[in-house]
Each structure stands twice: as structure tokens, then as C-alpha cells.
Amino acid sequence: MYAEERRRQIASLTAVEGRVSVTELAAKFDVTAETIRRDLAVLNKEGIVHRVHGGAVATQSFLTTEFPLDTRFRSASAAKDAIAREALRFLPNQPGGAIFLDSGTTINALANLIAADSNATAISIVTNSLPIALDLSTAGLTNVQLLGGTVRAITQAVVGDTALRTLALMRADVAFIGTNALTVDHGLSTADAHEAAVKASMVTNARKVVVLCDSTKLGNDYLVSFAPLDAIDVVITDEAAPESLLAELTESGIEVVLATD
């Protein structure tokens, strides 16, 4: 596991549990206590956790940092691939079904599987992701619509009024949504208000909402909330997800799917 991925999982676990200890983290990640202390020092410097004697406690601040696509593709890549495989079974069964594909690296992993699935060629796909639209069209899928608007360089996502006006006229059987963070209180959240608006519109205009969210995102809060828990039907995550948060999601009536590598 990369140090960056381990630190993101530590941040998620701290956010959910409220407090973590060096000893417990060292055992969980099978590293030395000194490695964990260095991780906590980095997270403390970034303001993600508060370092205390013997461990760390959660910070109450909302996150705003965004990472470039190449960095995000490397983070939790095995978990993202496993989550994408589980998401395939939520594709529409009926001929002529339609889906929304949000931007994001986990959704990109799903798009790659859809491109290789001969049964998916009849599905109409609407996306605001330049990489996803390119991958699907290059693979020969003809029912792919890329929303118009302004492109955000850091995420390669199309946003803005044109995209929102188009989405307002559309309906999909399933919206596959990525998120920077998920908590019980703040729901789904992300760093940018323009991307949040597109995500929220996809959620609103779909019959079923399936969230693809690796465990490093759970328990974190980003600045802009775009969907509450009661707008979500399914959350697909990985086995490293904190059990306490999974129980709360289930109690909220959300179907929780755990993907295995």
C-alpha cells in the first residue's frame, strides 16, 4: 500500500471513529509504530487530523484540497476496480436503458468495464467526463452523450449552466455517482460548487442512485454537499470501510455492497 493511500485511510478512520491510536493503526496496516507516527505528523501538518499523545483525533474542518487525475488514478486503484465490477450489476436490464456517469476515477473504472461489455452497447450513456466520453467512444459505443459546458482542468469534468440546462431535460434509470467524501451528517460532498451542481442534478434526475466510494473517502467532509443520504439507494465500497459507518448507512435504508479485490 502506498503511504498516501494509507494516510487517506487513516484520515477516514479517524473521522469516523473520532480518535485513533498509534498501536491500533500499526497493527491494522501492518507497519511500525514509527511509520504511523510519521503518517500522523503529515496529516496533522495538513490539518486533516489533530495529533495527540498516543494517536490522533478528528478535525472538524471541511476539506477543500483536490488532487490531479493521475494522482487519483493511483490512489486505492485495486479497490476502485473491485467497486467498478460490483457496479456492473446495477446497469439497466431493459433494452434502451439510460445511465448517467459522473466524473471521477472510480466511475472511469466502471466506464472501462462497460466499454468491454457487449451487453452494454444498447445503453444510452450521458456523462460530463471528457476521459470517460473518449474511452467509451473509442471503444465503439455509439450511444454516448458528452454534456456541453466549461471544462475543469484538474478533473476534466464539464460543468456550468449549459450542462445543467441539458441535464434538467433528461431522465436516467441509474446515476452512477462518484464523491470526494461521505458522512452521515453531510452526505456526499466535493470541493467545487460547479461540479457539485452537476452531481446533484444527476442524482435528482435518476430513478436509482448508485454511489461508488472507496473506503478512503468515508468519514471525510468536503466543502460542498451535493446529496443527502436519503437521496442514495446504493453505496458500493471496499472491505476496509469502517463497520460503524456501514451500519449507519444500512440503518438509513441504503443498500451497502462490499467489493473484494
Cα dist. 40→19, 23, 35, 115 in Å? 12, 12, 9, 40
> Residue 62: its pLDDT value, please?
53
Helices (H), 161-242: 161-168, 193-204
pLDDT, tens only, 35-57: 999 999 998 887 778 888 888 88
Amino acid at 6: R
Q: Which of 45-49, 71-75, 89-93, 218-222 has the lowest mean pLDDT?
A: 71-75
Instruction: Kindly state the average pLDDT of the residues 45-72.
Output: 70
The whole-chain average pLDDT of the chain stands at 88
Dihedral sign, CA of 222, 224, 228, 232? negative
- Annotated domain spans of the chain: 3-58, 69-259
Indicate if the pLDDT at residue 73 is higher than 70.
no
The residues, ordered by sequence, that sit 6+ positions from 41 with a Cβ below 8 Å of its Cβ are 51
> Residue 52: its pLDDT value, please?
83
Please tell me which residue, 170 or 221, carries the higher pLDDT value. 170
The residues, ordered by sequence, that sit 6+ positions from 175 with a Cβ below 8 Å of its Cβ are 99, 100, 102, 202, 203, 205, 206, 208, 209, 210
Please tell me which residue, 84 or 14, carries the higher pLDDT value. 84
Residue with cell 474511452: 135
- Tally the residues of the chain: 261
Residue with cell 490512489: 75
Percent of the chain with pLDDT over 90: 57
H or E stretch covering 71: helix 69-74
pLDDT, tens only, 207-235: 999 999 998 888 888 888 999 999 999 99
Indicate if the pLDDT at residue 4 is higher than 80.
no
Dihedral sign, CA of 175, 136, 170, 224? positive
> Residue 122: its pLDDT value, please?
83
In whole angstroms, what is the distance from residue 57 CA to residue 50 CA? 5
Instruction: Classify domain 69-259 at the CATH topology level.
Output: Rossmann fold (3.40.50)
Percent of the chain with pLDDT over 70: 92
* CATH code for the structural domain at 3-58: 1.10.10
Is 69-259 in the same CATH topology as 3-58?
A: no
> Residue 67: its pLDDT value, please?
57
Pairing of strands 255-259, 49-52: unpaired
Q: 42, 58, 60, 56: which is closest to 3 by C-alpha? A: 42
pTM value is: 0.78
Q: Which of 51-65, 183-197, 216-230 has the lowest mean pLDDT?
A: 51-65
> Residue 244: its pLDDT value, please?
86
Instruction: Kindly state the average pLDDT of the residues 133-159.
Output: 92
pLDDT, tens only, 16-29: 777 889 999 999 88
Indicate if the pLDDT at residue 242 is higher than 80.
yes
Q: Which of 53-62, 88-97, 124-133, 135-144 has the lowest mean pLDDT?
A: 53-62
In whole angstroms, what is the distance from residue 43 CA to residue 117 CA? 40
